[in-house]
Amino acid sequence: MAPPPPFRFEVVARAGAARAGLLTTPHGVVETPAFMPVATQAAAKLLTPEELLAAGTQLLVANTFHLHLRPGEDIIAELGGLHRFMSWPAALLTDSGGFQVHSLRALREVDDDGVAFRSPVDGAPLRLTPESATLIQEKLGADFAMAFDYCASYPAPREEVARAVELTTAWARRCRDAHRSPTQRMLGICQGGLDADLRERSARELVALDFFGYAVGGLAVGEPPAETAAFTRLTAPLLPADKPRYLMGVGRPDDVAMGVAAGVDLFDCVAPTREGRHGAAFTPTGRLNVRQAELRTDGRPLVAGCECYTCRHYGRAYLRHLALAGEALGARLLSLHNVHYLQHELRALRTRILADAD
């Protein structure tokens, strides 16, 4: 009989609330804290798997809802699963489609059993339930699946946030009971919006269901950054200390540093590639808009000493030219820099935690 797949999470050092850990998966060991670029349609926009790996990426996030729409989980399963389909050799996580309850709220109706959508592709009806979201993710075959949740929008009345918490718990239990894959682990998602009592209730109910790990959901959906930070600091300690903690939708350097300090292990966001497509770069002094006129004769790299491909080969003036000319190469080079920069920042934070361990 084959041995069980090697899933394990271990915290190896703590510095205050910050943690350095090792997340063992069938596709390698992820050193945490770690950032997961978003590959919604089985691709991180403009970047190849080889470029993501070279930038230090250890784990990617793909989207259940969109892959169900096209090409469909059955096709992906027939072709050997999502890892093989997208030629990604490292660890992989799929979101459940719960974020689309927020992002596609004009195209959906929520009831106790699940969510009815109109497809953003062709308007066709589509329904997700905890059981169907779980089955889709099992067929996709990522290392980690997320429980189907209700992500309330911001701002939302307390009654909607309370209903989101109630349905998230009920749906998480159904996901747990429906999940059968021995080669995949499931994470629960804590909701509660900007209500401390509801956050605590959601965390308590989700922890009782004993998932492999837990995500902080329902933040980074439009609320002020100070609120994101406050509720991250509130929620993280409510989650088990011996399991991975995942802050969803956060991926700018300052926000990631805040999450690490609060005790979060995993992050995901479209920000690095979205900012790149909009002509912006991450730097130690903040967001740099490469279209600004003062860069027109600036031959320096985006960040002095940065070892990314972009900074080793190109200067700011050239990147400005590409952005103003609308050349796709500019968006690619900026996206590559932003992913590399964020991964470098996470490695530096991990090194600091190990050096300053309690």
Q: What is the pLDDT of residues 287-345, one digit of tens each?
A: 999 999 999 999 999 999 999 999 999 999 999 999 999 999 999 999 999 999 999 99
Check pLDDT > 90 for residue 4.
no
- E-assigned strand segments in the chain: 8-15, 18-25, 28-32, 34-37, 59-63, 91-95, 108-110, 115-118, 125-128, 144-146, 185-190, 213-216, 245-247, 266-269, 280-283, 286-289
Say how far residue 111 (Cα) sits from the centre of its chain. Answer: 26
pLDDT the model gives residue 1: 62
| 248: pLDDT strictly greater than 90 | yes
Domains and CATH numbers, the chain: 8-269 (3.20.20.105), 270-353 (no CATH)
3-state SS, residue 19: strand
The Cα 123–Cα 192 span in angstroms is 30
Residue with the larger pLDDT of the pair 78 and 101: 78
For 202-224, how does the pLDDT look when each residue is reduced to its tens digit (9 = 90+)?
999 999 999 999 999 999 999 99
Position 281 confidence tier, pLDDT thresholds 50, 70, 90: very high
Over pLDDT 90: what percentage of the chain?
A: 95
Q: What is the pLDDT of residue 114?
A: 97
Q: With 80 as the cut, is the pLDDT of residue 261 above it?
A: yes
Catalytic residues: 95, 268
Tell me: pLDDT of 2 over 70. Answer: no
